[in-house]
Amino acid sequence: MIRYAIAFVFVLALAGQNPSGANYDEAKAGGEDLPGLLQFADGSPVKTADQWRKRRRPEILALFEKHVYGRTPAARRIEYEVTSSQEALGGLARRKQVTIWTAGRKAPAMHLLLYLPRESSKPVPAFLGLNFNGNHAVHTDPGIVLSGNWMRPGKGVVEHRATEASRGSESSRWPVETILRRGYALATVYYGDLFPDHKDGLPDSIIPAVSGGVARESDSWNAIGAWAYGLSRALDYLEKERAIDAKHVAVIGHSRLGKAALWAGAQDTRFALVISNNSGEGGAALARRNFGETTARINTAFPHWFAASFQNYNGRPEQLPVDQHMLLALAAPRPVYVASAQEDLWADPRGEFLSAQAADPVYRLLGVEGLPVSQMPRIHEPAMGRVGYHIREGKHDVTDYDWEQFLNFADKSWGKPQ
C-alpha cells in the first residue's frame, strides 16, 4: 500500500455555502492508503516494464471494467459521410462536418465537427473532445449544423431542443482560433449523440445497437463508457483523414467528459496524449478521499454514468480494488495532463494532484519522466514532465489559461507543429 503525506491545506470560507453537507476539511479527507500500483493481485511486486505491459496493466484495466466503468464491447467498423467541407473563419480554417455511424446506419449517428488550419501543407496534430451543448455551441460560426438531439436545459434550449439562440453558447471553452493558429486541428462531437445525459437515456444511446441487444449485467457499460467509445470511433475517422497526423491526437475532456477522456485514453492506446480538466470524482481525483464529491454522491445523482457494480462501493470506496491514480497510470508512457481549479472544491483539486503524483512510479518504471514535482504546485505554476499538472484560480470551467497549458504541453511532448 502507498502512503502519501498530507502537506497542503485549503483555506476555506464556506460557512453557509455547503448545502450538500460535503466535507471540505482536509484533516478529515483521509484516503491515505491506496491500492498498490506496482503490485500484482496476488501480492507479488511488479519489477520490470515488461511485467507492467503484459500483466499488470491488463489486470488493472480489467478491474476498472468490472468495478467502475463497465465492459466496452469490441469496436465495430464505422461508416461515415462527409456532409460538408468548406473554408471557414475568414480563411483561417477548413471546416468539415462528418456523420459517423458506429453500428450501422440504423443506429444513432454521431456528428463530428473538424476545424483544420488552412495554412498547413502537411498533416497536423489534433485535439479531440466531446462538447456539452452541440457542435453549434462550440463557435458562432453560422455554417455549423444545429444539433437536433436531446439537450440539457440551458441557453437557447427549448423543451430539450436547441435553437439558434444556443449557437456559440459554449464558445468560451473552445478557443478555436487560438488552437488553429498554434498549428493544431480541433475535432469535437456532441456527447448527447452517444448517450443522452439523463437517467433514462440508455434506450436512445448507442449502447443497444453496439451491444447487439446483450442483456444488462452489473458490469455492463453505461454513459461514460459510451462517451469514451465515441471518442475512439471519432479517432477511427481521423485516421482516415489525410489532413490529420493521427499518430498525434490528444483526447481531452472537462468535468464528466474528463472522466470519459481518461477512460478512452486508458482503453485506446492510439491516443497519443490524454488531458483531464476538472474531472474530479470518477475521473482524476482519488476515490478514497472524503473531500467534495464522493462515490456515493456521484452514483446517487448520476446512476447512468458508471456500471451498476460501482454502486457497491457507495460509502466504502476504500474497498475498491482500484483508485484513480491507476487510471492515470494506464496512459503510461504516453503523456497525461491533469488540470484543477482553486475554487472547484467539489472536484477535489488536491485529490487530483495526489492521483497524478501516485501514477508517477509507472512512468519511472517505463524509463520516462513522470511528474517533476514532489509538492502540489502553487496557483499558475504548471509542472510538466511526461505527467503534467496545474491548478489555476477560478471555478469549475475550461478557460483560456487551461488551453494555453494544454497547447504548451502538446508542444513539449510532440514538438511544435511545423
Active site residues: 255, 396
DSSP structural state of residue 176: H
CA distance 58 to 178: 38
Instruction: Say how many C-beta atoms besides its own lie within 10 A of residue 200's C-beta.
Output: 8
Cell numbers for 205: 444511446
Distance of CA 233 to the CA centre of its chain: 15
Q: At CA 323, angle to CA 317 and CA 329, rounded to 5?
A: 175
Strand, coil or helix: what is 263?
A: helix
CA distance 53 to 65: 17
The DSSP bridge pattern shows strands 336-341 and 273-277 to be parallel
CA distance 172 to 253: 15
Cell match 448507442: residue? 206
Distance of CA 102 to the CA centre of its chain: 20
**C-beta separation of 29 from 22 below 8 A:** no
- Alpha-carbon Rg for the chain, nearest whole angstrom, is 20
Instruction: Tell me the HSE value of 416 on the side-chain side, using a 13 A CA sphere.
Output: 4
DSSP string, 225-251: HHHHHHHHHHHHHHHH-TTEEEEEEEE
Instruction: Tell me the HSE value of 298 on the side-chain side, using a 13 A CA sphere.
Output: 28
What single letter denotes the amino acid at residue 223? A
DSSP structural state of residue 220: B
